[in-house]
Amino acid sequence: MYSPQAANHNLPVEPNRFIGRARDVEELCALFADERVVTLCGVGGIGKTRLALRVAERLVHRFPGGVRLVELARLARPDLVAKELAGVLGVREEGARPLVDGLIENLRGARTLLVLDNCEHLVEACAELVARLVASCPDLRVLVTSREPLRIPQELIWRVPPLDLPDARRPDAESVLLFMERATAAGIRISLDVLPDVADLCVALDGLPLALELAAARTKVLSPRQIIDRIGDRFTLLTSGDRTAPARHRTLLATVQWSHDLLEEKEKALLHRLSVFPGDFDLAFAEQVCHDDHLRQEEILDLLSGLVDKSLVIGEGERFRLLATIRQFAAERLAEAGEGDRFAGRHLREVLAVQARGLRVTFEEQRMERPDRLEAFQRASALLDDSRTALDWAIRAGDARAGIELCLIAAAPLAVAGDEAEAADWLVLLLAMDVSAVAASDLLMARSFIAYGLEARDELLQARELALEGVEGLRAGAYHFRLGVVYAIAVRVLLRLGEREAAGVWLEELIDRARAHADRFTLAAALLYRSTLAMAEGRLREARRHVEEALRAAREHGHPWIIAQVSLQLGVLAEARGDLEAALGHLAAAVPLNEELDNRAELARVLSRSGRVAGQLGDFAAARRHLARSLALAKGTGQRLTIAHCLSALSVLAEKEGDLEGAVLTAAAVQRLRESMGQPASRVRTDELMSRARAKLGDGRAAAMWAKGGELSPEEAAGRVLEQEHVSVVDPPPPRRRTVLTAREQEIAGLLVRGLSNRAIGEELVISPATVARHIANIMDKLGFTSRAQIAVWAAEHDLGSA
């Protein structure tokens, strides 16, 4: 049976050695033999996330459908939970279909483990989503971390205990080992004569991992006994508040408060301000958002380094982040100082400025090399979480003008990344506010972008109204890139509604204006639409002329997305003309471009058509490879139409190979799938197939095969054809990102050719072995590798080890 499997896991590399909890790990692993949902509950800092990741790592081999980590701490709104999970799984929205249906399509039939981390602030949304997924996907298991349970019927609540405390019989308890390990990592060797003080400290901190790690970071300046003395003062201060709070919770707050109080004033100020970032950030971003007259920009590097040393900020290569507990604490201090609004506003303005520069470089600048455009696009995409946080702040602050401006800019990376409707959702909220300070042109543009989201959800009539309102209202004004987008939205909607004459009028005006203003990106897109229109009307030579002109404009511009779109259209047109070899070549050119963008839904469509063309050329092995990969990607992104196209191609392939029963089974599955989508399959092809089947198999056998096929799932029907040649149909690994390695990463890859260990590499480059390990993990992620040996081979092929 066809059973696509996702890449094995997306679990991060452990930043340091996992200490203790051996019994907890064994017990939790055993629970997943029977339990569907296990929630690790406990206070912040008790080690829920670390324990969950350890358990998940141990369980990878038991879940052929993959283990997927979904980090929720940075999300601010319940409606983003499903979208975050969709992003991790690669599922995209499809028309008006609820996103959760695409998630179910992805997870059903595959034994998969989801790890939902930090659910407490979104507990109701998480509970509803988990309950729905578990009810629909019998092979799914979910591991949750939260300060409070989901409270759903399928849930087993597992309270995470503190680490074991030392006593006379066991002085080397888990808590002691953790403290000693982290103190050693901080560069301090604890002598045997202070071990009793260490034991007392572990007891004073209730064995809480975060408290122990923060205390260990301070051993560079304080002895264990001095730490105990200072913590004792803070316990008294903070326990005078809510006496009903759990003791461990009060202890954690005391520990965080104590660690915070030991900071210099400027370190405190920076820590508070860093809380405006929802996820990771780089130095430049921190410098722009966090500086003022009190905290000069040139001071931030040293202050940030100090916070990393004190374990209050996590450094991961060139990126930084705050633990959720620390971020929450720092945000509360920022609000208490009356500066929360000021720095949230600064974050909004800086995100707006960075995204605006990214948009200009990615789409508007006309003479740039493709790698530069790709790098600019990837930077903009990396800011999507910050953009969402900034948009949420704009709504809460009532700043419709900045919110709409940011939303119009961020719509481009959102759409290319696959979430075509999210920008529309934000704009609906923003337009419901007081928009008196927003320019009339921006309001029209915003309504047009809402039309784009409506069109993506198949709400075409309302999309038509808004799109035409936008283009008619804006056409008299000055031309700029976004105006070209508004034209393109109107043309796209009209073409889908079959209003070809009206679409043609606006299309010609768009082409004239794009040419007049040297907007090559929009020109390429418009010429692509013109080719599509000519092809739909049977004018193939004209269509070819237009698409070749589109290709020239796309190459001159250089963005991989538009080049990939044109390459796909060239393939479609070549197939329509009967030039199958040329079609396969054009489609092959689109594959790496979509891989660069990690655009899996578009890649699935390209591969589906490639499989069909390869089958027509008689290369059945290649057809199977393309279609198997396309099916896996389409299932993973929840794209039913592409699945239907793959099944249709497999039906044709089966008949060509003489497997008429397989052809009938697959055709019946296609018809069932299309009918569920409201798109009946072609009766002509079906009738002709059944006529041949009845002639060869007999009426009864043909009818039986058709009835059986109608009961098969798409995966079962596909497997019936794909397994004829014993083809492996497991999900392929995700497309390798072609991100260029940094200079440091290239150095390390080259040293791996020589077989050096992390320690030896660190000595040669004067960095720590832990830093080497992080760089190697980054290299594996960028190149899609899973071992050091693969990196070494790759480096040798690229002459990185020859120095």
Residue 738 has pLDDT above 50, yes or no: no
> What pLDDT shows up at residue 277?
94
Token duo for residue 344:
């949230």
Angle between the 99-107 and 620-637 helix axes, to the nearest 10 degrees?
130
SS (H, E, C) 161-201: CCCCCCCCCCCCCHHHHHHHHHHHHCCCCCCHHHHHHHHHH
Half-sphere exposure of 493 (CA within 13 A, CB side): 30
DSSP state, 9? B
Residue 549 has pLDDT above 90, yes or no: yes
> Using one digit for the tens of pLDDT, what is the confidence trace for 347-383?
999 998 888 877 776 666 655 666 777 777 777 777 8
Counting beta carbons within 10 angstroms of the beta carbon of residue 449, is it exposed (0 to 12), middle (13 to 18) or buried (19 or more)?
A: buried
Range of weakest confidence among 330-334, 547-551, 716-720, 726-730: 726-730
Angle between the 224-238 and 195-204 helix axes, to the nearest 10 degrees?
20
> What pLDDT shows up at residue 190?
80
Residue 480 has pLDDT above 70, yes or no: yes
The residues with which 435 forms a beta bridge, in sequence order, are: none
Mean pLDDT across 202-208:
81
The residues with which 314 forms a beta bridge, in sequence order, are: 321
> Using one digit for the tens of pLDDT, what is the confidence trace for 277-294?
988 898 999 999 999 999
Residue 651 has pLDDT above 70, yes or no: yes
CA separation, residue 669 to residues 679, 681, 738 (Å): 13, 10, 37
Phi, psi of 657 (to 5 degrees): -90, 5
What span, in angstroms and rounded, lies between the C-alpha atoms of 48 and 51? Answer: 5
Counting beta carbons within 10 angstroms of the beta carbon of residue 460, is it exposed (0 to 12), middle (13 to 18) or buried (19 or more)?
A: middle
Q: C-alpha dihedral over 296, 302, 304, 309, to 10 degrees?
A: -160
> What pLDDT shows up at residue 135?
94
Mean pLDDT across 668-693:
80
> Using one digit for the tens of pLDDT, what is the confidence trace for 298-308?
999 999 988 88
Q: What is the mean pLDDT of the chain?
A: 83
Residue 633 has pLDDT above 70, yes or no: yes
Report field, pTM of the whole predicted structure over 0.75: no
What span, in angstroms and rounded, lies between the C-alpha atoms of 117 and 134? Answer: 17
Q: Using an 8 Å Cβ cutoff, are 151 and 120 in contact? A: no
Nearest to 351 by CA among 377, 384, 313: 384
> Using one digit for the tens of pLDDT, what is the confidence trace for 412-438?
776 665 566 788 889 999 999 999 999
Say if strands 140-146 and 112-117 run parallel, antiparallel, or are unpaired: parallel
Range of weakest confidence among 464-468, 604-608, 785-789: 785-789
> What pLDDT shows up at residue 291?
93
> What pLDDT shows up at residue 730?
34
> What pLDDT shows up at residue 215?
82
Task: Tell me which range, 184-198, 242-256, 268-282, 787-801, is most confidently predicted by mean pLDDT.
Answer: 268-282
- Count other Cβ atoms within 10 Å, centred on residue 265: 9
Residue with the two structure tokens 């722009």: 288
What span, in angstroms and rounded, lies between the C-alpha atoms of 547 and 174? Answer: 67
Please give the single-letter amino acid code of residue 290: C
The b/e string for 495-526 (b: 16+ C-beta within 10 A; e otherwise) is beeeeeebbbebbeebbebbeebebbbbbbbb
Mean pLDDT across 158-172:
83
Residue 233 has pLDDT above 80, yes or no: no
> Using one digit for the tens of pLDDT, what is the confidence trace for 500-528?
899 999 999 999 998 998 888 889 999 99
Mean pLDDT across 127-140:
95
Higher model confidence: residue 764 or residue 541?
541
> What pLDDT shows up at residue 764?
81
What span, in angstroms and rounded, lies between the C-alpha atoms of 384 and 83? Answer: 12
Distance in Å from the first CA to the final CA of the chain: 50
Q: C-alpha dihedral over 110, 113, 118, 120, to 10 degrees?
A: 70
Which residues, other chains included, contact 462 with Cβ-Cβ below 8 Å and sequence gap of 6+? 451, 454
CA separation, residue 656 to residues 23, 574, 597, 632, 651 (Å): 58, 21, 35, 23, 9
What span, in angstroms and rounded, lies between the C-alpha atoms of 467 and 737? Answer: 35
Range of weakest confidence among 95-104, 222-231, 590-599: 222-231
Question: pLDDT band at 3, cuts 50/70/90?
Answer: very low
Mean pLDDT across 63-71:
94
Mean pLDDT across 543-563:
89
Please give the single-letter amino acid code of residue 457: R
Helix (H) or strand (E) holding 71: strand 67-71
Nearest to 783 by CA among 731, 758, 748: 748
Residue 483 has pLDDT above 60, yes or no: yes
> What pLDDT shows up at residue 797?
63
> What pLDDT shows up at residue 735?
38
Say if strands 67-71 and 37-41 run parallel, antiparallel, or are unpaired: unpaired
Residue 482 has pLDDT above 60, yes or no: yes
The residues with which 40 forms a beta bridge, in sequence order, are: 145, 158
> What pLDDT shows up at residue 569?
93
Mean pLDDT across 73-83:
89
Range of weakest confidence among 69-78, 414-423, 647-656, 730-739: 730-739
> Using one digit for the tens of pLDDT, what is the confidence trace for 747-799?
888 888 777 777 788 778 877 777 787 778 777 666 656 667 667 767 776 77
Mean pLDDT across 113-139:
94
> What pLDDT shows up at residue 290?
95
What span, in angstroms and rounded, lies between the C-alpha atoms of 221 and 666? Answer: 71
List, in sequence order, the alpha helices (H) in 186-223.
195-204, 209-217
Residue 732 has pLDDT above 50, yes or no: no
Nearest to 47 by CA among 159, 156, 208, 204: 208
Question: pLDDT band at 238, cuts 50/70/90?
Answer: very low
DSSP state, 147? S
Range of weakest confidence among 170-184, 523-537, 581-595: 170-184
Phi-psi category of 377—alpha, beta or left, where left has phi over 0 and alpha has psi -120 to 50?
A: alpha
